[in-house]
């Protein structure tokens, strides 16, 4: 299937590592021009170089997305370079363990900035360009919005908001034919996941106990599997799909617990 993404300029926040990197690689392999927005220049350039070495095109902008002004500047940098934006993937975030019992006002608010405020700001600033291109938005979310995890109130709240904003924007942007969907992830091996699992006393045991409960093939989801679904949702091949929360999780959230 030709996804018709050739030369489409698509912003991927947190595109230098993990799930974002997977999305950047898949988009580039489809002939799109993914734009990596990330806080670390070296990380951005490493992924950019890999895309180029494989014969693809990409661009990178350094931005710390918890700073509201940086979100606007990043969008402007893309417009300055290409004059258009065809898609936005909101992906950057961190499961930072700001719990109910062990947490604080400051930590809770800071986590919302790490995990959801920039989702809003990136969409807000990219909107005029997305209206022109009839572009698409994909929000990456986490199972924690639906299942909880314990000890991570702000991250769970942010993911609840990511889901709600997906539906809310799908409605608000109907008049512009801008589609908005979410891809919900449960367990994917990334640098973030690795640092989370290492917080347990016996990370290997913990990982084994988690993967055993993933219904489809008792394994983690790959970043490429997530990215393939994101690419489809960005493409005109999903032209009548909007407001959907699509779980790419090997059945983790919805299938029978007795499996």
CB of 227 to ligand NAD, least distance (A): 11
What is the Cα–Cα distance from 192 to 222, expressed in whole angstroms?
Answer: 14
142 binds ligand NAD (CB under 6 A): yes
Does 114 interact with ligand NAD (rule: CB under 6 A)? Answer: yes
Neighbouring C-beta atoms of residue 80, cutoff 10 Å: 9
Of residues 165 and 185, the one with the C-beta less far from ligand NAD:
185
The encoded tokens of residue 12 equal 């991927």
- Could you say whether residue 64 binds ligand NAD (CB under 6 A)? yes
| Subset of 195-234 contacting ligand NAD (CB under 6 A) | none
Characterize 21-36 residue by residue with b for buried, 16 or more Cβ atoms within 10 angstroms of its Cβ, and e for exposed. bbbbbbbbbbbbbbbb
Q: C-beta of 105: minimal distance to ligand NAD in Å?
A: 20
139 binds ligand NAD (CB under 6 A): no
Q: Cα(136)–Cα(2) distance, rounded to whole angstroms?
A: 17
- Number of residues near ligand NAD (by CB under 6 A): 28
Give the x-and-dash track for 37-56 against ligand NAD (CB under 6 A): -xxx--x-------------
Cα gap 240→170, rounded to integer Å = 12
Check if 155 is active-site: yes
The answer to whether the CB of 68 falls within 8 A of the CB of 119 is: no
**Comparison of 65 and 126: residue with beta carbon closer to ligand NAD:** 65
- Of these, 65, 127, 231, 233, which contacts ligand NAD (CB under 6 A)? 65
Rounded to whole angstroms, how far apart are CA atoms 247 and 123? 22
Q: Find out whether 28 and 45 touch, Cβ atoms under 8 Å.
A: no
Does the protein bind ligand NAD through residue 91 (CB under 6 A)? Answer: yes
Which residues have CB under 8 Å from 109's CB, separation 6+?
Answer: none
Site for ligand NAD in 8-37 (CB under 6 A): 14, 16-20
- Give the catalytic positions in this structure: 155
Q: For binding to ligand NAD (CB under 6 A), which residues are involved?
A: 14, 16-20, 38-40, 43, 63-66, 91-94, 114, 140, 142, 185, 187-188, 190-193
């Amino acid at each position: 299937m030709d996804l018709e993404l050739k030369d489409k300029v698509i912003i991927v926040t947190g595109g230098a590592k993990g799930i974002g990197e997977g999305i950047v690689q898949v988009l580039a392999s489809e002939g799109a021009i993914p734009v990596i927005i990330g806080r670390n220049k070296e990380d951005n350039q490493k992924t950019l170089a890999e895309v180029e070495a494989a014969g693809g095109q990409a661009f990178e902008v350094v931005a710390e997305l918890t700073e509201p002004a940086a979100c606007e500047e990043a969008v402007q940098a893309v417009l300055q370079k290409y004059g258009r934006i065809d898609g936005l993937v909101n992906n950057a975030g961190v499961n930072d363990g700001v719990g109910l019992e062990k947490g604080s006002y400051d930590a809770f608010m800071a986590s919302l900035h790490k995990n959801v405020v920039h989702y809003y700001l990136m969409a807000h600033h990219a909107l005029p360009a997305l209206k022109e291109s009839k572009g698409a938005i994909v929000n990456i979310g986490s199972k924690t919005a639906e299942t909880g995890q314990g000890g991570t109130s702000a991250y769970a709240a942010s993911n609840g908001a990511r889901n709600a904003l997906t539906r809310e924007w799908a409605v608000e942007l109907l008049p512009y034919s801008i589609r908005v969907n979410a891809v919900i992830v449960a367990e994917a091996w990334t640098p973030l996941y690795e640092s989370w699992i290492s917080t347990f006393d016996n990370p290997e045991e913990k990982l084994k106990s988690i993967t055993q409960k993933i219904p489809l093939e008792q394994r983690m989801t790959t970043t490429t599997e997530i990215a393939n679904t994101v690419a489809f949702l960005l493409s005109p091949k999903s032209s009548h799909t909007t407001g959907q929360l699509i779980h790419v999780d090997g059945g983790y959230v919805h299938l029978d617990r007795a499996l």
